[in-house]
Amino acid sequence: MTEQKLIFPFMGPIYDLLGEIAPAILRAAAGLFLMPHGAQKLFGWFGGPGLEGTSAYFQSALELSNGYPAAVAAGSVEFFGGLALALGLFTRISAGAVIVLLLVALSTHVSSGFFVFNGGYEYALLWTIVAALFWVKGGGRYSFDALIGREF
């Protein structure tokens, strides 16, 4: 295979450095972006509805007979799963849980079309794809999974 030559060769060392840590930065960002959503659902932080409000929303919007378990599950995946994803701890398990959660979110937004500003599924789809990357690839070199020597 022929190695490609850089148009700007002086950028090579920067690309090499960032190429090593970019997956960890993306993984951490994805997890940290999820955590406030979970905190809204579980604890009512950041102006969120807490478990009671989230449960009521799930009962009305998703037509669940008891939205409380779903609210606990969704909030826990976002908050605790997001934390695990950010740390790269049990990465594939947490990413898998995030994927399932986001597929449910996608199903509730698909009727509104693609664009998020219309209530569409664009945002949820993007984060589903990001989570799928870490479900397939694992936590990588800079993760707690690597530190403990176990990939799940």
Q: Report how many domains make up the chain.
A: 1
| Residue 63 lies inside a defined structural domain of this protein | yes
The Cα–Cα gap between 70 and 54 comes to 9
- Please indicate, yes or no, if residue 70 is contained in any of the structural domains: yes
Contacts of 64 (CB under 8 A, 6+ apart): 58, 70
- Asked if 96 and 85 touch (Cβ cutoff 8 Å), the reply is no
Q: What is the pTM of this model?
A: 0.90
pLDDT at 3: 79
Does the residue 13 lie in any domain?
no
Q: How many CA atoms lie within 13 A of 23 on its CB side?
A: 18
Contact 79, 86 (CB under 8 A): no
Domain contains 151: no
Residue 147 lies in a domain: no
Confidence band for 1, pLDDT divided at 50, 70 and 90: low
Q: With 90 as the cut, is the pLDDT of residue 152 above it?
A: no
What average pLDDT does the structure give for the chain? 95
Q: pLDDT tens, 36-55?
A: 999 999 999 999 999 999 99
Q: Is residue 107 part of a domain?
A: yes
Tokens linked to 121:
């599924």
Q: What is the mean pLDDT of residues 126-137?
A: 97
State the residue range of the domain holding 75: 22-142
